[in-house]
Structure 1
Protein backbone atom coordinates (compact mmCIF):
# COMPACT_ATOMS: atom_id res chain seq x y z
CA UNK A 1 0.00 0.00 0.00
CA UNK A 2 2.80 2.45 0.85
CA UNK A 3 4.46 1.79 -2.47
CA UNK A 4 1.26 2.49 -4.37
CA UNK A 5 0.59 5.70 -2.43
CA UNK A 6 4.19 6.79 -2.97
CA UNK A 7 3.89 6.33 -6.70
CA UNK A 8 0.62 8.29 -6.75
CA UNK A 9 2.26 11.19 -4.94
CA UNK A 10 5.23 11.04 -7.29
CA UNK A 11 2.92 11.12 -10.30
CA UNK A 12 1.25 14.22 -8.84
CA UNK A 13 4.63 15.93 -8.53
CA UNK A 14 5.42 15.24 -12.17
CA UNK A 15 1.97 16.48 -13.18
CA UNK A 16 2.43 19.72 -11.21
CA UNK A 17 5.91 20.22 -12.65
CA UNK A 18 4.66 19.97 -16.21
CA UNK A 19 1.70 22.21 -15.34
CA UNK A 20 4.08 24.88 -14.08
CA UNK A 21 5.66 24.98 -17.53
CA UNK A 22 2.37 25.09 -19.38
CA UNK A 23 1.46 28.59 -18.20
CA UNK A 24 2.41 30.21 -21.51
CA UNK A 25 -0.22 28.14 -23.32
CA UNK A 26 -3.04 29.93 -21.42
CA UNK A 27 -4.75 26.57 -20.88
CA UNK A 28 -3.25 25.68 -17.51
CA UNK A 29 -4.02 22.01 -18.14
CA UNK A 30 -1.63 19.69 -16.26
CA UNK A 31 -0.38 16.73 -18.29
CA UNK A 32 1.98 13.87 -17.64
CA UNK A 33 5.38 13.97 -19.29
CA UNK A 34 8.84 12.47 -19.20
CA UNK A 35 11.50 13.56 -16.71
CA UNK A 36 13.16 15.51 -19.49
CA UNK A 37 10.12 17.75 -19.55
CA UNK A 38 10.77 19.00 -16.02
CA UNK A 39 14.41 20.06 -16.41
CA UNK A 40 14.02 23.50 -17.96
CA UNK A 41 13.82 26.18 -15.29
CA UNK A 42 10.69 28.27 -14.94
CA UNK A 43 11.10 32.03 -15.17
CA UNK A 44 9.26 35.08 -13.89
CA UNK A 45 6.79 36.25 -16.55
CA UNK A 46 6.61 39.91 -17.49
CA UNK A 47 3.47 41.79 -16.51
CA UNK A 48 1.21 42.70 -19.45
CA UNK A 49 0.97 46.30 -18.15
CA UNK A 50 3.11 48.79 -16.16
CA UNK A 51 3.31 48.48 -12.38
CA UNK A 52 1.23 51.63 -11.91
CA UNK A 53 -1.48 50.64 -14.42
CA UNK A 54 -3.92 49.40 -11.77
CA UNK A 55 -3.85 52.49 -9.56
CA UNK A 56 -5.64 53.69 -7.52
CA UNK A 57 -7.20 50.27 -6.93
CA UNK A 58 -3.93 48.36 -6.58
CA UNK A 59 -0.90 50.52 -5.92
CA UNK A 60 2.35 50.52 -7.85
CA UNK A 61 4.21 49.60 -4.67
CA UNK A 62 2.08 46.50 -4.13
CA UNK A 63 2.49 45.39 -7.73
CA UNK A 64 6.26 45.82 -7.61
CA UNK A 65 6.67 43.92 -4.35
CA UNK A 66 4.13 41.26 -5.28
CA UNK A 67 5.67 40.56 -8.69
CA UNK A 68 9.39 41.19 -8.14
CA UNK A 69 9.66 39.76 -4.63
CA UNK A 70 6.89 37.28 -3.89
CA UNK A 71 6.41 35.71 -7.33
CA UNK A 72 10.16 35.72 -7.95
CA UNK A 73 10.67 33.82 -4.69
CA UNK A 74 8.22 31.12 -5.77
CA UNK A 75 10.09 30.81 -9.07
CA UNK A 76 13.48 30.57 -7.37
CA UNK A 77 12.39 28.05 -4.75
CA UNK A 78 10.55 25.94 -7.29
CA UNK A 79 13.63 25.68 -9.48
CA UNK A 80 15.76 24.65 -6.50
CA UNK A 81 13.25 21.98 -5.47
CA UNK A 82 13.04 20.69 -9.02
CA UNK A 83 16.82 20.37 -9.27
CA UNK A 84 16.74 18.36 -6.05
CA UNK A 85 13.93 16.23 -7.45
CA UNK A 86 15.96 15.43 -10.55
CA UNK A 87 18.89 14.34 -8.39
CA UNK A 88 16.56 12.15 -6.33
CA UNK A 89 15.36 10.45 -9.52
CA UNK A 90 18.93 9.79 -10.55
CA UNK A 91 19.64 8.37 -7.11
CA UNK A 92 16.35 6.41 -7.11
CA UNK A 93 15.65 7.94 -3.71
CA UNK A 94 11.87 7.68 -3.26
CA UNK A 95 12.04 9.09 0.27
CA UNK A 96 13.65 12.28 -1.01
CA UNK A 97 11.14 12.49 -3.86
CA UNK A 98 8.28 12.40 -1.38
CA UNK A 99 10.02 14.86 0.96
CA UNK A 100 10.14 17.41 -1.84
CA UNK A 101 6.43 17.24 -2.60
CA UNK A 102 5.45 20.12 -0.30
CA UNK A 103 8.07 22.50 -1.72
CA UNK A 104 7.11 21.62 -5.28
CA UNK A 105 3.41 21.96 -4.61
CA UNK A 106 3.72 25.24 -2.71
CA UNK A 107 6.18 27.00 -5.00
CA UNK A 108 4.93 25.44 -8.22
CA UNK A 109 1.40 26.37 -7.25
CA UNK A 110 2.52 29.89 -6.40
CA UNK A 111 4.07 30.25 -9.84
CA UNK A 112 1.02 28.87 -11.66
CA UNK A 113 -1.46 30.90 -9.61
CA UNK A 114 0.35 34.21 -9.94
CA UNK A 115 1.01 33.76 -13.65
CA UNK A 116 -2.74 33.39 -14.10
CA UNK A 117 -3.52 36.23 -11.67
CA UNK A 118 -1.49 38.87 -13.53
CA UNK A 119 -3.46 38.17 -16.71
CA UNK A 120 -6.72 38.39 -14.75
CA UNK A 121 -6.00 42.09 -14.19
CA UNK A 122 -5.94 45.14 -16.43
CA UNK A 123 -6.26 48.93 -16.29
CA UNK A 124 -9.79 50.18 -15.67
CA UNK A 125 -11.30 51.60 -18.83
CA UNK A 126 -9.00 49.58 -21.07
CA UNK A 127 -10.43 46.11 -20.37
CA UNK A 128 -14.05 44.89 -20.25
CA UNK A 129 -15.66 45.64 -16.88
CA UNK A 130 -18.05 42.66 -17.00
CA UNK A 131 -18.23 39.22 -18.60
CA UNK A 132 -19.88 38.89 -21.98
CA UNK A 133 -21.29 36.17 -24.21
CA UNK A 134 -21.69 32.60 -23.00
CA UNK A 135 -19.76 33.25 -19.78
CA UNK A 136 -22.15 36.04 -18.82
CA UNK A 137 -25.06 33.68 -19.47
CA UNK A 138 -23.43 30.91 -17.40
CA UNK A 139 -22.87 33.29 -14.47
CA UNK A 140 -26.43 34.59 -14.64
CA UNK A 141 -27.77 31.03 -14.77
CA UNK A 142 -25.74 29.95 -11.74
CA UNK A 143 -25.92 33.06 -9.55
CA UNK A 144 -28.93 34.99 -10.80
CA UNK A 145 -26.98 38.04 -11.92
CA UNK A 146 -23.47 39.42 -12.12
CA UNK A 147 -24.00 41.28 -8.84
CA UNK A 148 -25.17 38.04 -7.24
CA UNK A 149 -21.99 36.34 -8.43
CA UNK A 150 -19.78 39.12 -7.06
CA UNK A 151 -21.51 38.93 -3.67
CA UNK A 152 -20.96 35.17 -3.39
CA UNK A 153 -17.41 35.36 -4.71
CA UNK A 154 -16.54 38.06 -2.17
CA UNK A 155 -18.04 36.01 0.64
CA UNK A 156 -15.91 33.03 -0.37
CA UNK A 157 -12.77 35.16 -0.68
CA UNK A 158 -13.23 36.93 2.65
CA UNK A 159 -14.01 33.59 4.27
CA UNK A 160 -10.65 32.05 3.38
CA UNK A 161 -8.91 31.37 6.69
CA UNK A 162 -5.36 32.67 6.64
CA UNK A 163 -3.87 32.71 3.16
CA UNK A 164 -5.24 31.37 -0.10
CA UNK A 165 -7.06 32.03 -3.34
CA UNK A 166 -10.63 32.53 -4.51
CA UNK A 167 -11.59 31.15 -7.91
CA UNK A 168 -14.20 31.03 -10.59
CA UNK A 169 -13.77 27.72 -12.38
CA UNK A 170 -15.47 25.61 -15.00
CA UNK A 171 -16.63 22.09 -14.18
CA UNK A 172 -16.34 19.98 -17.32
CA UNK A 173 -18.51 17.24 -15.88
CA UNK A 174 -21.48 19.44 -14.99
CA UNK A 175 -20.70 22.08 -17.64
CA UNK A 176 -21.30 24.79 -15.05
CA UNK A 177 -19.23 27.53 -13.50
CA UNK A 178 -18.35 27.24 -9.81
CA UNK A 179 -16.83 29.42 -7.11
CA UNK A 180 -14.06 27.68 -5.21
CA UNK A 181 -11.23 28.45 -2.80
CA UNK A 182 -7.82 26.91 -2.25
CA UNK A 183 -5.50 27.21 0.73
CA UNK A 184 -2.02 28.69 0.64
CA UNK A 185 -0.65 28.31 -2.91
CA UNK A 186 -2.59 25.19 -3.84
CA UNK A 187 -3.52 25.38 -7.52
CA UNK A 188 -7.07 24.76 -8.66
CA UNK A 189 -7.00 21.19 -9.97
CA UNK A 190 -10.60 19.95 -9.90
CA UNK A 191 -11.90 22.78 -12.10
CA UNK A 192 -10.57 24.65 -15.11
CA UNK A 193 -9.48 28.01 -13.64
CA UNK A 194 -11.11 31.03 -15.25
CA UNK A 195 -10.56 33.76 -12.65
CA UNK A 196 -8.27 33.66 -9.64
CA UNK A 197 -7.89 36.31 -6.95
CA UNK A 198 -4.97 36.25 -4.54
CA UNK A 199 -6.22 36.80 -0.98
CA UNK A 200 -2.87 36.48 0.75
CA UNK A 201 -2.19 39.63 2.78
CA UNK A 202 0.85 40.36 0.62
CA UNK A 203 -1.61 41.11 -2.22
CA UNK A 204 -3.19 44.04 -0.39
CA UNK A 205 -1.72 44.81 3.06
CA UNK A 206 0.45 47.77 2.00
CA UNK A 207 -2.68 49.56 0.78
CA UNK A 208 -5.67 48.05 2.58
CA UNK A 209 -3.95 46.81 5.77
CA UNK A 210 -5.81 43.73 7.04
CA UNK A 211 -9.20 44.77 5.62
CA UNK A 212 -9.70 42.11 2.96
CA UNK A 213 -13.27 43.21 2.10
CA UNK A 214 -11.95 46.62 0.97
CA UNK A 215 -9.41 44.91 -1.26
CA UNK A 216 -12.08 42.68 -2.75
CA UNK A 217 -14.27 45.69 -3.48
CA UNK A 218 -11.37 47.38 -5.29
CA UNK A 219 -10.12 44.40 -7.27
CA UNK A 220 -13.33 44.15 -9.31
CA UNK A 221 -12.46 47.53 -10.82
CA UNK A 222 -9.41 46.03 -12.54
CA UNK A 223 -10.52 42.52 -13.54
CA UNK A 224 -9.77 41.83 -17.20
CA UNK A 225 -12.92 40.02 -18.26
CA UNK A 226 -11.63 39.59 -21.80
CA UNK A 227 -9.06 37.11 -20.49
CA UNK A 228 -11.61 35.33 -18.30
CA UNK A 229 -14.08 35.01 -21.18
CA UNK A 230 -11.33 33.67 -23.42
CA UNK A 231 -10.45 30.98 -20.88
CA UNK A 232 -14.11 30.01 -20.61
CA UNK A 233 -14.46 29.73 -24.39
CA UNK A 234 -11.41 27.43 -24.50
CA UNK A 235 -12.40 25.31 -21.48
Structure 2
Protein backbone atom coordinates (compact mmCIF):
# COMPACT_ATOMS: atom_id res chain seq x y z
CA UNK A 1 0.00 0.00 0.00
CA UNK A 2 1.17 3.50 -0.78
CA UNK A 3 -0.70 4.85 2.23
CA UNK A 4 -0.49 2.09 4.86
CA UNK A 5 -1.83 2.24 8.39
CA UNK A 6 1.09 3.33 10.59
CA UNK A 7 2.45 1.04 13.27
CA UNK A 8 1.21 2.02 16.70
CA UNK A 9 3.44 2.33 19.79
CA UNK A 10 0.97 0.51 22.05
CA UNK A 11 -1.18 -2.63 22.06
CA UNK A 12 -4.91 -2.71 21.33
CA UNK A 13 -5.59 -3.18 25.05
CA UNK A 14 -3.14 -0.52 26.27
CA UNK A 15 -5.67 2.31 26.52
CA UNK A 16 -8.10 0.36 28.71
CA UNK A 17 -10.16 1.07 30.74
CA UNK A 18 -10.50 4.51 29.12
CA UNK A 19 -10.74 3.12 25.59
CA UNK A 20 -11.79 -0.51 25.37
CA UNK A 21 -10.29 -3.07 23.04
CA UNK A 22 -13.72 -3.30 21.38
CA UNK A 23 -13.65 0.42 20.56
CA UNK A 24 -10.01 0.26 19.50
CA UNK A 25 -10.58 -2.68 17.15
CA UNK A 26 -13.66 -1.07 15.62
CA UNK A 27 -12.00 2.32 15.26
CA UNK A 28 -8.51 1.36 14.11
CA UNK A 29 -9.14 -2.02 12.51
CA UNK A 30 -12.32 -1.15 10.62
CA UNK A 31 -12.99 2.60 10.28
CA UNK A 32 -9.40 3.79 9.85
CA UNK A 33 -8.45 0.83 7.68
CA UNK A 34 -11.45 1.45 5.43
CA UNK A 35 -10.33 5.03 4.73
CA UNK A 36 -6.81 3.87 3.83
CA UNK A 37 -8.09 1.07 1.60
CA UNK A 38 -10.55 3.33 -0.22
CA UNK A 39 -7.88 5.96 -0.75
CA UNK A 40 -5.66 3.36 -2.42
CA UNK A 41 -8.48 2.56 -4.85
CA UNK A 42 -9.25 6.18 -5.63
CA UNK A 43 -5.69 7.30 -6.46
CA UNK A 44 -4.87 4.54 -8.93
CA UNK A 45 -3.66 6.07 -12.21
CA UNK A 46 -3.85 9.62 -10.86
CA UNK A 47 -1.08 12.11 -9.97
CA UNK A 48 -2.05 11.63 -6.31
CA UNK A 49 -0.58 8.11 -6.32
CA UNK A 50 2.99 9.45 -6.19
CA UNK A 51 2.37 12.02 -3.43
CA UNK A 52 2.80 11.76 0.31
CA UNK A 53 -0.40 11.52 2.33
CA UNK A 54 -0.09 15.13 3.46
CA UNK A 55 0.47 16.28 -0.12
CA UNK A 56 -2.64 14.38 -1.20
CA UNK A 57 -4.65 16.12 1.53
CA UNK A 58 -3.47 19.58 0.54
CA UNK A 59 -3.85 19.09 -3.23
CA UNK A 60 -7.22 17.32 -3.07
CA UNK A 61 -8.51 19.96 -0.64
CA UNK A 62 -7.64 22.72 -3.11
CA UNK A 63 -9.18 20.76 -5.98
CA UNK A 64 -12.38 19.84 -4.18
CA UNK A 65 -12.88 23.48 -3.16
CA UNK A 66 -12.88 24.18 -6.91
CA UNK A 67 -15.73 21.69 -7.33
CA UNK A 68 -13.86 18.60 -8.55
CA UNK A 69 -16.08 15.64 -7.47
CA UNK A 70 -13.28 13.04 -7.67
CA UNK A 71 -11.04 15.25 -5.57
CA UNK A 72 -13.80 15.47 -2.97
CA UNK A 73 -13.82 11.70 -2.47
CA UNK A 74 -10.02 11.57 -2.41
CA UNK A 75 -9.85 14.38 0.13
CA UNK A 76 -12.43 12.79 2.41
CA UNK A 77 -10.55 9.50 2.57
CA UNK A 78 -7.05 10.99 2.62
CA UNK A 79 -7.91 13.50 5.33
CA UNK A 80 -9.62 10.87 7.46
CA UNK A 81 -6.54 8.65 7.06
CA UNK A 82 -4.27 11.54 8.03
CA UNK A 83 -6.47 12.67 10.93
CA UNK A 84 -6.69 9.16 12.36
CA UNK A 85 -2.97 8.52 11.94
CA UNK A 86 -2.32 11.68 13.95
CA UNK A 87 -5.04 10.86 16.51
CA UNK A 88 -3.35 7.59 17.52
CA UNK A 89 -0.14 9.49 18.29
CA UNK A 90 -2.08 11.90 20.52
CA UNK A 91 -2.77 9.21 23.12
CA UNK A 92 -0.57 7.19 25.43
CA UNK A 93 -1.47 4.69 28.16
CA UNK A 94 -2.30 6.65 31.31
CA UNK A 95 -1.75 9.98 29.59
CA UNK A 96 1.35 12.13 30.07
CA UNK A 97 2.32 15.49 31.51
CA UNK A 98 3.02 18.63 29.47
CA UNK A 99 6.34 20.44 29.59
CA UNK A 100 6.75 23.59 31.65
CA UNK A 101 7.18 25.68 28.49
CA UNK A 102 3.99 24.25 26.99
CA UNK A 103 2.03 24.92 30.19
CA UNK A 104 3.35 28.47 30.22
CA UNK A 105 2.11 29.00 26.65
CA UNK A 106 -1.27 27.46 27.50
CA UNK A 107 -1.58 29.63 30.62
CA UNK A 108 -0.81 32.73 28.59
CA UNK A 109 -3.50 31.95 26.03
CA UNK A 110 -6.22 30.32 28.13
CA UNK A 111 -5.56 31.41 31.72
CA UNK A 112 -4.60 27.98 33.05
CA UNK A 113 -4.20 24.40 31.86
CA UNK A 114 -7.44 23.53 33.63
CA UNK A 115 -9.33 26.28 31.79
CA UNK A 116 -7.79 25.16 28.52
CA UNK A 117 -9.00 21.59 29.04
CA UNK A 118 -12.48 22.87 29.86
CA UNK A 119 -12.49 24.93 26.65
CA UNK A 120 -11.18 21.97 24.62
CA UNK A 121 -13.92 19.69 25.96
CA UNK A 122 -16.57 22.37 25.36
CA UNK A 123 -15.43 22.81 21.76
CA UNK A 124 -15.59 19.07 21.16
CA UNK A 125 -19.05 18.85 22.68
CA UNK A 126 -20.12 21.83 20.57
CA UNK A 127 -19.00 20.26 17.30
CA UNK A 128 -22.37 19.39 15.77
CA UNK A 129 -22.36 15.93 14.23
CA UNK A 130 -19.15 14.16 13.29
CA UNK A 131 -15.75 15.79 13.39
CA UNK A 132 -12.65 16.64 15.36
CA UNK A 133 -11.43 19.07 18.02
CA UNK A 134 -7.84 20.28 17.76
CA UNK A 135 -5.25 22.34 19.54
CA UNK A 136 -3.22 24.02 16.81
CA UNK A 137 -0.28 26.35 16.52
CA UNK A 138 -1.32 29.20 14.25
CA UNK A 139 1.97 30.99 13.59
CA UNK A 140 2.90 30.96 17.27
CA UNK A 141 -0.61 31.46 18.63
CA UNK A 142 -2.31 28.50 20.31
CA UNK A 143 -5.91 28.01 19.21
CA UNK A 144 -8.66 25.46 19.73
CA UNK A 145 -10.21 24.57 16.38
CA UNK A 146 -13.09 22.24 15.61
CA UNK A 147 -13.64 20.72 12.17
CA UNK A 148 -16.56 18.79 10.70
CA UNK A 149 -16.39 15.40 9.01
CA UNK A 150 -12.96 14.96 7.35
CA UNK A 151 -11.89 18.60 7.46
CA UNK A 152 -8.41 19.10 8.86
CA UNK A 153 -6.31 22.14 9.80
CA UNK A 154 -3.41 20.56 7.91
CA UNK A 155 -5.18 21.52 4.67
CA UNK A 156 -5.15 25.20 5.63
CA UNK A 157 -1.58 25.41 6.88
CA UNK A 158 -2.11 25.19 10.64
CA UNK A 159 0.12 22.98 12.80
CA UNK A 160 -1.83 20.40 14.83
CA UNK A 161 -0.53 19.74 18.34
CA UNK A 162 -3.22 17.36 19.56
CA UNK A 163 -6.64 16.15 18.40
CA UNK A 164 -9.62 14.27 19.77
CA UNK A 165 -11.91 12.38 17.41
CA UNK A 166 -15.58 13.19 18.04
CA UNK A 167 -17.09 10.90 15.43
CA UNK A 168 -19.46 8.54 17.25
CA UNK A 169 -17.35 5.49 16.42
CA UNK A 170 -14.61 6.97 18.64
CA UNK A 171 -16.65 6.70 21.82
CA UNK A 172 -20.13 5.23 21.44
CA UNK A 173 -19.28 1.65 22.46
CA UNK A 174 -17.74 2.86 25.73
CA UNK A 175 -19.64 6.07 26.48
CA UNK A 176 -22.87 5.82 24.44
CA UNK A 177 -24.07 9.39 23.85
CA UNK A 178 -21.94 10.89 26.65
CA UNK A 179 -19.48 12.79 24.47
CA UNK A 180 -18.56 15.17 27.34
CA UNK A 181 -17.47 12.18 29.49
CA UNK A 182 -15.37 10.76 26.67
CA UNK A 183 -13.65 14.10 26.05
CA UNK A 184 -12.92 14.62 29.74
CA UNK A 185 -11.40 11.15 29.92
CA UNK A 186 -9.39 11.96 26.80
CA UNK A 187 -7.92 15.16 28.26
CA UNK A 188 -7.33 13.71 31.75
CA UNK A 189 -6.33 10.09 31.09
CA UNK A 190 -5.40 9.49 27.46
CA UNK A 191 -3.89 12.64 25.94
CA UNK A 192 -0.16 12.58 25.33
CA UNK A 193 0.56 16.13 26.45
CA UNK A 194 4.30 15.40 26.40
CA UNK A 195 4.07 14.70 22.65
CA UNK A 196 2.03 17.87 22.16
CA UNK A 197 4.73 19.76 24.05
CA UNK A 198 7.39 18.39 21.71
CA UNK A 199 5.38 19.40 18.65
CA UNK A 200 4.95 22.88 20.08
CA UNK A 201 8.69 23.19 20.70
CA UNK A 202 9.66 21.73 17.34
Deviates more, 1:97-106 or 1:138-147: 97-106
Q: What displacement does 1:219 show?
A: 1.1
2:109 corresponds to which of 126, 135, 142: 142
Give distance in 1, aligned partners of 2:12 and 2:194.
20
Structure 1: runs of 5 or more not aligned: 1-39, 88-93
**1:23-102 equivalence runs, <5 A:** 41-83=2-44, 85-86=46-47, 98-102=68-72
- Superposed CA RMSD in Å reads 1.8
Q: CA deviation at 1:68?
A: 0.7
- Residue 6 of structure 1 aligns with which residue? none
Change (3 A) 1:84 1:214: farther
Aligned match of 2:144: 179
What corresponds to 2:55 in structure 1? none
| Alignment of 1:222 onto 2:183 | no
Is the Cα contact below 8 Å between 1:169 and 1:195 reproduced in 2?
yes
Q: 1:118 aligns with which of 75, 88, 94?
A: 88
Using the TM superposition, give the Cα deviation of residue 54 of structure 1 relative to its aligned residue in structure 2, in angstroms.
Answer: 0.8
Q: Secondary structure at the match of 2:68?
A: helix
Q: Please, which of 154, 160, 164 is the counterpart of residue 121 of structure 2?
A: 154
* Gap change, CA 1:156 and 1:100, over 3 Å in 2: same
| TM-score calculated relative to the size of structure 1 | 0.74
Residues 84, 183 of structure 1: alpha-carbon distance in 2 compared, 3 angstrom cutoff: farther
Per-residue CA deviation, residues 10-54 of structure 1 (Å, 9 max, x unaligned), is xxxxxxxxxxxxxxxxxxxxxxxxxxxxxx710011221011111
SS of 2:153's partner is: coil
Q: Distance in 2 between matches of 1:67 and 1:84?
A: 27
Deviation at 1:84, TM superposition (A): 5.2
Contact in 2 for aligned 1:51/1:63 (Cα 8 Å): yes
Q: How many corresponding residue pairs? A: 182
Deviation, 1:86, is: 4.2
Query: Quick one: distance in 1 between partners of 2:130 and 2:74?
Result: 18
Runs of 4+ in 1 over 2 A off after TM superposition: 84-87
Superposed, which structure 2 residues align to 1:192-207 within 5 Å?
192-207=159-174
